[in-house]
Chain A
Amino acid sequence: MLQLPIYLDNNSTTPMDPRVLEAMLPYFSQNFGNAASRNHSFGWKAEEAVDYAREQIANLINAEPKEIIITSGATESNNLAIKGVFEMYAEKGNHIITIETEHKAVLDTCKHIEKLGAEITYLKTDGQGLITVKQLEDAIKPNTILVSIMYANNEIGVIQPIKEITTLLKSKGILFHTDATQAVGKIPLDVIANGIDLLSFTAHKMYGPKGVGALYVRRKNPRVKVTAQMDGGGHERGMRSGTLNVPGIVGMGKACEICQQDMAKDTERLMKMRDRLENELLVLEESYINGNKEHRLPHVTNMSFKYVEGEGLIMGVKDIAVSSGSACTSASLEPSYVLKALGLDDELAHSSLRFGLSRFTTDEEIDFAINHVKEAVLKLREMSPLWEMFKEGIDLKSIQWAEH
């Protein structure tokens, strides 16, 4: 039977796969050693487990195990990549290019180093959430040291033209970092074929545990170095000190392995369910998909239902857990900056829902979600003055609104 509420917010975090949990359990109280202890079997066992996991993690993105720097998650990885390059390559330049729809972990890191003398260019995306290589090329300067562009967007799932971007950057000798938090484990991702120099990702978005992530740091062509942001015992090739989170790393390794094994199968199933959800909801008048439909993740859709307000809508769909483009709940009253960047009207940005499906989502749950959302939208439109005006043919832009 259906268990309510239904979780469809898998871009925020995923449930842990039971197989991952099982792999982790022995590393809490049984094999609890410190992976850096070289003098006894407790340490060796932990180190062995970490080495094995590092291989599983590396395999998923076609990297070498030595290129995987374990962190506490994607936020730390993004910080390490951007701040680390900014410090390490200070002699080469101080200009970094990124895009305005990045996750806050990238944007705020950039803001931080701006105060320390970095020069940051924030590229604008088109109405579909994508940037072009031409835009990037025009932004490059002699002092550009790094370009940081997310692989897939967390709110709308659109995938940037990574290969084209890195082809350009290689020819100019500029490093490329990508926040691939939403993409790793969901779509095939190859750091070699895609010419990626630094890549951030995390375990808890791919059915692994929270609190563990990684930064891929390329070791050949070119050999990339980042200045450590966490000083101490010199763990992780000196780039990230701190006792390794062995159970977390084991879990991340297992999660990566499962993703690699099941990706094709999961993707096909998720895409079918996502498309069905989307098509059924598009039957509603004045409903829209946000972001590019072709270049995007298979398990995500972001939709707007015009003339209903996001927070009211979220309340109306209380039996499903989704996220809204409207940040009213955080008291800011600001609609999502990502949707605003696409040039969406405020009404559309406010009335959006993001659905993120997972390996554990069922057809039955999608059926329920479709009906639930439809009912809520119809009910709220029934009480929306904007809907009534729209139906009467009144142009909302022609009204002098009393802003408050």
Chain B
Amino acid sequence: MAYSEKVIDHYSNPRNIGTLDKNSKQVGTGLVGAPECGDVMRLQIEVDDATGIITDAKFKTFGCGSAIASSSLATEWLKGKSVDDALKIDNMDIVEELALPPVKIHCSVLAEDAIKSAINDYRSKNGFAPIEDTKKHY
């Protein structure tokens, strides 16, 4: 299968690989996927309490090139966004940006799930109720 240039670029030069302190109150961690499905994404955000702006984002992904690229792109998009705006990132935006083929749409879904999961982790740490995911992917 041929990968798009953008996928190859993110795979070869992944942005923001790394680990933030998961015990920090400013950090939200999302761990989604499962090893037996062949994709696990961990996405972390660091939020400035005062402004609600995401100041840093890191990821680590076990998965195919499209999964790595989706999470790498997600971290790029997250940095500098407010948490509220981050919630608006839709998996189809990722599909479009990376030109993912239909069989790889699940990678973008996973990235969106990882973002929501990281935000919810941050929210629950800071005493907010989790955002309900009303979007049905399947």
**A interface residue numbers (CB < 8 A to B):** 307-312, 315-316, 326, 328-329, 331, 333, 335, 345-347, 350, 380, 382-388, 396, 399, 401-404
Contacts and interface: CB of A to CB of B under 8 A. Distances in A.
Contact of B34 (A311, A328, A387, A401): A401
Interface stretch (B62-70, B90-98, B119-127): B62-70
Given A385-B60, A388-B60, A404-B106, A312 B65 contact: yes
A307 B62 contact: yes
Interface string B46-74: 00000000000001111111011000000
Nearest to B101: A331
Nearest to B137: A404
Interface of B: 1, 3, 11, 14, 17, 19, 31-42, 59-65, 67-68, 103, 106, 109-110, 113
A326 B38 contact: yes
A333 B60 contact: no
Which 7 A-B residue pairings sit nearest by Cβ, starting from the closest? Answer: A401-B34, A346-B36, A311-B64, A385-B42, A385-B60, A331-B103, A315-B65
The winner among A312, A326, A382, A387 for most chain B CB atoms within 10 A is A312
22 contacts: A309-B39, A309-B62, A310-B38, A311-B38, A312-B63, A312-B68, A346-B38, A350-B35, A350-B36, A350-B38, A383-B14, A385-B41, A386-B35, A387-B62, A388-B19, A396-B35, A399-B31, A401-B36, A402-B113, A403-B34, A403-B36, A404-B113
B-side interface mostly: mixed
Contact of A309 (B32, B60, B64, B110): B64
A384 B62 contact: yes
Nearest to B8: A315
Contacts of B38: 309-311, 326, 328, 333, 335, 346, 350
Nearest to A312: B64
B31 A385 contact: yes
Contacts of A310: 38
B33 A329 contact: no
A347 B113 CA distance: 21
Contacts of B113: 402, 404
A385 B62 contact: yes
B32 to A, nearest CB: 6
**Most chain B C-beta atoms within 10 Å of own C-beta, residue among A315, A316, A387:** A315
Contact of B17 (A308, A345, A382): A382
Given A308-B62, A403-B37, 5 more contacts: A311-B65, A346-B36, A383-B61, A384-B60, A388-B60
Nearest to B72: A383
Contacts of A385: 31, 40-42, 60-62
B64 A401 contact: no
Contacts of B64: 309, 311-312, 315, 328
A402 B68 contact: no
A402 B40 CA distance: 9
A326 B36 CA distance: 11
A402 B39 contact: no
Contacts of B41: 385
B32 A402 contact: yes
Nearest to B41: A385
